[in-house]
Amino acid sequence: MKVVGITSCPSGVAHTYMAAEALKLSGEKLGMEVLIETQGGAGVENQLKQKDIDEAVCVVLVNDVALEGLDRFKGKKSPENGRVRPD
């Protein structure tokens, strides 16, 4: 099972990367492949490939600021709100 997501915080430093790492480790414990894109102080890192997004069962968005590129997830299930709906 594959899950993709994005993490981001206001300062874009520690919490962005801590959340990404926690999601990956939790996924490993459950036998899931978790791919996380970070949108932090260094910009977008580990940008998700459309193929991975298409194969994912859901997308996890962990953010306190607006995210870039949400249109890539249109129609994907998301634990936070049921479905991702780009602004």
> Which residues are designated catalytic?
9
Long-range contacts (CB closer than 8 Å, 24 or more residues apart) made by 71-79: 72/48
What does pTM read for this prediction? 0.85
The answer to whether residues 34 and 24 touch, using CB atoms and an 8 Å cutoff, is: yes
pLDDT digits (tens, 9 = 90+) for 27-54: 999 999 999 999 988 889 999 999 999 9
Instruction: Indicate if the pLDDT at residue 87 is higher than 50.
Output: no
